[in-house]
Amino acid sequence: MSGQEIFVIIIVALLLFGAEKLPDIAKTVGRGMRDFKKATDDIRRELETSTMDIRKDVTDVTESLSRSVNDFQSSVTKDVNEVSDSIKNDMNDVTSGVRQDMNEVTDTIKSDAGAAADNLNNVGYYQDYGYYGNDENFNTNSAPEEPVQESSKGNDLKDGNYKEVND
């Protein structure tokens, strides 16, 4: 409200009620405004007090749920880590067993390949000197009953086809 509107209201009040009753009316309006403000403050305080219990309950429930969720998350994380560690250990056990078996097979293959290479070298050496059988039948003067034939398998060594010897 502007100053002119307030001035008009005061003049109307003076004309209606007179100068004698104007201070009493102002006191009554002042008390009414004070009582109204006090009533609104009381209502506000009452609402805050009553909702404080509800807010406290909501806060307690929220904290409880938060703790429960965190506990559940921790439990699930712990279980997942335990299962993961168990799987890793099992895989390490299997892997080490497979590696050990693979090393044994590799060693066996190397050993057999070395023995086969020695046998091939020895067969060629003995054949060069007329030996065509086992050690008991070593005879440099006689040829084998069956002649040595080219292999039909077509296996190659460094310098061509090898010959198979039938005992």
Render pLDDT for 40-74 as a digit per residue (tens, 0 to 9).
Answer: 999 999 888 888 888 888 999 999 999 999 999 99
Of 166, 128, 116, the closest CA to residue 145 belongs to 166
Cα separation values, 68 from 59, 71, 72, 92, Å: 14, 5, 6, 36
Length of the chain in terms of residues written: 167
pLDDT at position 162 is 46
pLDDT at position 123 is 63
Span of 3-7, 27-31, 62-66, 70-74 with lowest mean pLDDT: 3-7
Span of 3-7, 90-94, 119-123 with lowest mean pLDDT: 119-123
165 exposure class (CB count in 10 Å sphere: 0-12, 13-18, 19+): middle
Query: What are the strands, taking DSSP E only, across the chain?
Result: 149-150, 156-157, 160-161, 163-164
The pTM (predicted TM-score) of the whole model is 0.37
Q: Which helix (H) or strand (E) segment is 94 a member of?
A: helix 22-128
